[in-house]
Amino acid sequence: SEFLANMSHELRTPLNSLLILSDQLCKNPEGNLSQKQIEFSRTIHSSGNELLMLINDILDLSKIESGTVAMDFAEHRLADLTSYVERTFRHVAEARSVEFAIHVGKRLPPSIRSDIKRLQQILKNLLSNAFK
């Protein structure tokens, strides 16, 4: 709906500022932050990204309901996809003391044709539910 699209825009503007600033804190360009402060800024940045993905999911649902969702198919390397999934969920597995490994079959092609954003979204939702 139009309301969700407007709300999404209104939420993204301040969230993007938080993401940019927390990213700068993570990098610690002046070298004046403690390791604990850097870790806190990483947590803020990670949580902000999760919130941004949630906003995107809500907006996508709105597009699906209105029939205006667009797909963007292209070739993507499986190694990049598995790296994304591993980076995203390694900390979740560690926090739950669960072994987490990705095994890619040798017969699979090195790349796939997909809408990478949608595929990442699907994998994120499946794995998030699996870790719950």
pLDDT tens string 64-109: 888 888 889 999 999 999 998 998 888 889 888 999 999 999 999 9
Residue 32, classed as helix, strand or coil, is coil
Q: What is the pTM of this model?
A: 0.61
111, β-bridge pairs: 77
Looking at residue 6, the DSSP 8-state letter turns out to be H
Q: Which amino acid type is present at position 60?
A: D
The length of the chain, given as a count of residues:
132
Residue written as token pair 């390791």 = 35
Domain limits, the chain: 2-66, 74-131
Residue 2 has pLDDT above 80, yes or no: no
Provide the percentage of residues in the chain whose pLDDT is more than 90: 55
At 127, list the tokens.
């794995």
Residue 113 has pLDDT above 90, yes or no: yes
Query: Looking at per-residue confidence, does 132 or 43 come out higher?
Result: 43
